[in-house]
Amino acid sequence: MKEKKKQKKKKNNNNKKKEKKKKKNNNNNKKNKKENMTKKKKKKKKSIKIVS
């Protein structure tokens, strides 16, 4: 019985770690997307300047 409990606990810990990693990745992705958006906006402005 004890062995089973230990295994279950280990599995839960692994899942928690995975969740944390996922969250971190999601946050990074959001950050990158925001940066990319601002970069794109800047590029557009430049092209407008050239046209005008």
Residue 1: predicted pLDDT: 60
Alpha-carbon distance of 47 to 43, in angstroms, equals 6
In whole angstroms, give the CA distance from residue 40 to residue 32.
Answer: 12
| Domain total in the chain | 1
The type of residue at 16 is K
pLDDT in tens, 13-49: 888 888 888 888 888 888 877 777 766 666 556 666 6
Domain that includes residue 36, residue range: 1-52
pLDDT of residue 40: 64
Residue 5 pLDDT: 77
- H or E segment at 52? none
